[in-house]
Amino acid sequence: MTFPELVKFLNDIAWGPWMLVLLVGTGVYLSARVGFIQFTKFGYAMKNTLGKLFKKQTAGGGEVTPFQALTTALAATVGTGNIAGVTGAIAVGGPGAVFWMWISALFGMVTKYSEVVLAVKYRERNAKGDYVGGPMYYIRNGMGKQWNWLAVLFSLLACLAAFGIGNMTQVNTIATTFNTTIDAFGGNTGAVTITMFGQVVPVSSIAIGMFVALIVALVLFGGIKRIGSVTEKLVPVMAAVYIVCSLIIIGVNFEAVGGIFAMIFKGAFSADAALGGAFGITIMTTIQKGVGRGVFSNEAGLGSAPMAHAATSEKDPVKQGLYGIFEVFMDTIVICTLTALTLLCGLHSGVDITWGQSAGTELIIASFATVFGQKAGSLIVAVGIGLFALSTILSWSLYGTRCCEFLLGHKSVPVYQTIFVAVIIIGATLELDLVWNIADTLNGFMAIPNLVALLGLSGVVYKLTKEHFEKEKLGV
């Protein structure tokens, strides 16, 4: 069995039907326990998150502000999964994959909320005085030391997952997209190549990987405060630019939007009905790609984002947990939906999609090109991908560092960070399908210990939520 075949075999295990049931089922169970607050308290959550984003916030030593904690977590979740991931899910699973992304997100809001609540509740101070938290800490401190093996398992899987979801997939997509953009402007990235890992690789990909590695190193070695400072400036700008450009394309194709939503809802239960012919896309493929890419994008259930939220200066776990609801809403319901509508508007304008086959950023570039032209469309996507992916790499470098620190102590951190930066260069040269499969596989296995902990500590989430809203009623 070759390495790619082994990865695919493990991927099929990690993302089989049982994993989809576990992920969505955990979200449904947690939602029921806290009274479906993603619906009943949605206005309250938006008022206390979106409504406070532009108010001045301060943080002490070893802390970041609630907004910086949010943007650090959002920087990780709003990445290539919002563009390349959504595009690939639709190409392989049909338009109906979008519906299942929405379903996973609606219940994922409470999964993420619960993760953040527990992270703040059970966090600690490390040797440097920084707040540290996440699944490994709420497993050990909340479930008891007899469960420490589960905390160790999560940390080990997350350390490895950081190289996939938060590193190789991101830089690989940056390199691919920028090479396409360079070629669109008359360059020829295939003219100068070398052979690496048995593949012919453009030298431009290596140069892009080295440039990204340099930026990450400069920020990463500055610690959580520098990462928070960078992401609080980067995330709002990158999100605003991408949202505006997507809305322009949707506006130009406004008459097609009703039909596009019909395709999504029909395709959720029959791709053949949505696409008007027999394309051989099964319902299970549609669901798997929709839920899988939804989780890849918003990371609800993976246990990653609470590691960023644990550093907040906010003392109330529930108040910070509300940012988890907002995070999933912004990532999947807003940005992923805009990508899906943009791509399907491109289909309406003549972009050719080979259904059932994997695809990367070339389809979304073609969709942007229908309105902005090939050069401008390529540039918009390249800049969007570059900013989204760079911010994701920065945040996941923090997550991997926190898990390594939990496993091996503070002295291991510089070694891990150095390896992480080096892998960025390697990731820029790998084959895209292999990179995505590695990331998906590590995501799936990483989620298992975290979901076990969420179910085991659901009573704590219920208790803290109940106490918070009872105090709200009393005006305390």
* pLDDT at residue 273, rounded to an integer: 64
**What distances in angstroms separate CA 390 from CA 124, 181, 216, 231, 399, one per listed residue?**
28, 17, 8, 10, 15
Instruction: Indicate whether 437 belongs to any domain.
Output: yes
Instruction: Indicate whether 306 belongs to any domain.
Output: yes
Say how far apart CA 90 and CA 85 lie, in whole Å: 9
- Are 180 and 362 a contacting pair, CB within 8 Å? yes
Question: What total number of domains does the chain contain?
Answer: 1
Instruction: Indicate whether 476 belongs to any domain.
Output: no
What is the β-pairing status of strands 193-196 and 131-132?
A: unpaired
User: Residue 107's domain is classified under what CATH number?
Assistant: 1.10.4160
- Are 91 and 353 a contacting pair, CB within 8 Å? yes
Give the global pTM: 0.88
* pLDDT at residue 474, rounded to an integer: 79
Say how far apart CA 400 and CA 194 lie, in whole Å: 31
* pLDDT at residue 318, rounded to an integer: 95
State the 10-residue block means of pLDDT for the chain, 476 residues long. 82 78 91 95 88 63 69 70 81 88 94 96 89 94 94 92 84 82 78 67 84 88 74 78 90 92 88 65 80 80 90 90 92 91 88 74 85 86 82 87 92 92 87 70 86 96 95 79
* pLDDT at residue 258, rounded to an integer: 93
Instruction: Indicate whether 475 belongs to any domain.
Output: no
* pLDDT at residue 224, rounded to an integer: 66
Instruction: Indicate whether 230 belongs to any domain.
Output: yes
Instruction: Indicate whether 474 belongs to any domain.
Output: no
Say how far apart CA 54 and CA 61 lie, in whole Å: 22
Residue type (1 letter), 228? G
Instruction: Indicate whether 449 belongs to any domain.
Output: yes
- Are 151 and 135 a contacting pair, CB within 8 Å? yes
Tokens of 79: 């990445």
- Are 49 and 326 a contacting pair, CB within 8 Å? yes
- Are 317 and 117 a contacting pair, CB within 8 Å? yes
Could you tell me the residue range of the domain that residue 161 belongs to? 3-468
Instruction: Indicate whether 86 belongs to any domain.
Output: yes
* pLDDT at residue 340, rounded to an integer: 92
Which secondary structure element, helix H or strand E, spans residue 321, and what is its range?
helix 317-328
